[in-house]
Amino acid sequence: MWQDWILQLTSGYQKKVMTKLVYVAVLTVVQLGVYVSPLGTWMNLGFQGIDILRNPQAYLLGTRPLCTQLAGLSRGQTKLCYLYRDHIAHVGHGAQLGIAECQWQFRYRRWNCTTVDDSSVFGPVLNIASREAAFTHAISAAGVVHIISRACRDGQLSNCGCSRALRPKNLHRDWIWGGCGDNIEYGYRFTEGFVDVRERENNYMRGSTEQGRKLMNLHNNEAGRRAVIRKTRVTCKCHGVSGSCSLVTCWQQLATFREVGDHLKDKYDGATEVRINRRGKLQLKNPHFNIPTAEDLVYLEESPDYCVNNHTTGSLGTYSRECNRTSPGTDGCNLMCCGRGYNTHKAVLKERCKCKFHWCCYVECKTCTKVVDRHTCK
Ligand SMILES: *[C@@H]1O[C@H](CO)[C@@H](O)[C@H](O)[C@H]1NC(C)=O
Ligand SMILES: *[C@@H]1O[C@H](CO)[C@@H](O)[C@H](O)[C@H]1NC(C)=O
Ligand SMILES: *[C@@H]1O[C@H](CO)[C@@H](O)[C@H](O)[C@H]1NC(C)=O
């Protein structure tokens, strides 16, 4: 069912790619080598969120100039904030969802998506145009699509409601298309406007590092939004007397966000290295690789190894991270500790055990303790 819509999107995307070509180089002082940390990021809404999310009414009523007080928004995002006030708490939820998923997906890796306590959210380490930066852009855009699409369906936003997606052509003809579906069309469009505007409002010299980063961010934001679309499916429900299923209604439904996260983690593993050329377009670094689609992640710079704490790059290092002595993977002590070795200490683990089922209906357990070895990086 998504085919038609994706086609429309794709042609829209190509048009955008074309217009990128037309960007004229506007006087920008390019400071080579120094990437000055920008004002912060809208993802910070997921944290200040705490206040907006708990008390959205205070902001809606306009008793204070909400939008200019939110750290991390760009000029265009501040304007959109005023136009779509009731969306902002949801954008914050979307950012939180994306960040939490990022931390889950990277929990066994050296870089584990740690957030810092300022409006840059992830700290200076993401000033490097790495795969990790690519992933954070994609997952947070995806988080916003997810939350906004669902909020529309649930009637929480004034300008959208149930999805109005067309009936899929291959749906069984006796089935009814018309349950209230997640409004991914709206979620996609709103997120595109809100998240991408901060990139679009800056013009950089064609072929510059900054322009490269802008195109990279736009590409990865789109890949994140598409991940939500890709995982969306048609869901149906039986009605009728005692499960007779005489009536079937169907609607489009978001996948769980974990599925979106798994999908984007695969895209991270297969991300493509690109570079910005003099004509101001991204091109493959290695011409033998496949050209990335709009659903793939792209990055411009190799990642640091994230082994040691470095204030300049913002890498936290893996000192005192827990590792697994026998695992050959990224959580294994060898990789996690970068060959520095590890300390072993005993830890007491409490768990429920010897559970008994009592008729009817509860389970009674004892608490057992056992001593296990824990390993942490030197
Ligand atoms: C921190 O990273 C910078 C940039 O990669 C590097 O030049 C510097 O030597 C690093 N410092 C330490 C203490 O590793
Ligand atoms: C992530 O890494 C940081 C520093 O390396 C560490 O303090 C933190 O506990 C880690 N988080 C998780 C969930 O492992
Ligand atoms: C450590 O890794 C091994 C091999 O991958 C796995 O079987 C084991 O469950 C892991 N242990 C812990 C505590 O995660």
C-alpha–C-alpha distance, residues 270 and 131, integer Å: 10
C-alpha–C-alpha distance, residues 369 and 280, integer Å: 62
Of all protein residues, the one whose alpha carbon is nearest to atom 3 of ligand 3 is 327
Per-residue pLDDT tens digits for 76-107: 998 998 899 889 889 989 999 999 999 999 99
Residues forming beta bridges with residue 233, ordered by sequence position:
253
Residue to mutate, 310, 315, 316, ligand 1, most ligand atoms under 8 Å from C-beta? 310
- Helical segments of the chain, H only: 2-22, 45-54, 56-60, 66-69, 75-83, 88-105, 131-153, 184-200, 209-231, 257-269, 333-336
Per-residue pLDDT tens digits for 24-57: 222 222 323 333 334 578 788 877 645 555 565 6
CATH numbers and ranges of domains, the chain: 20-110+119-312 (no CATH), 333-377 (3.30.2460.20)
Q: How far is the CA of 188 from the centre of ligand 2 (A)?
A: 32
Q: Is the CB of residue 326 below 6 angstroms from any atom belonging to ligand 3?
A: yes
Residues forming beta bridges with residue 272, ordered by sequence position:
298
Q: Using a 6 Å CB cutoff, which residues line ligand 1? A: 308, 310, 312-313
Q: How far is the CA of 148 from the centre of ligand 1 (A)?
A: 41
Average pLDDT, the chain: 84
128 Cβ contact list (under 8 Å, min separation 6)? 301, 303, 304, 313
Q: What is the pLDDT of residue 52?
A: 59
What is the maximal distance between C-alpha atoms in the chain?
Answer: 78
C-alpha–C-alpha distance, residues 203 and 28, integer Å: 8
Residue to mutate, 302, 312, 316, 319, ligand 1, most ligand atoms under 8 Å from C-beta? 312
pLDDT band at 68 (very low <50, low <70, confident <90, very high): confident
| pLDDT higher than 50, residue 201 | yes
Under DSSP, is residue 352 helix (H, G, I), strand (E, B) or coil? strand
Under DSSP, is residue 156 helix (H, G, I), strand (E, B) or coil? coil
Q: What is the pLDDT of residue 48?
A: 60
Q: Which ligand is nearest to the CA of 334?
A: 3
Asked if 184 contacts 229 with a C-beta cutoff of 8 angstroms, the reply is yes
C-alpha–C-alpha distance, residues 41 and 211, integer Å: 18
Per-residue pLDDT tens digits for 209-230: 999 999 999 999 999 999 999 9
Q: What is the pLDDT of residue 151?
A: 96
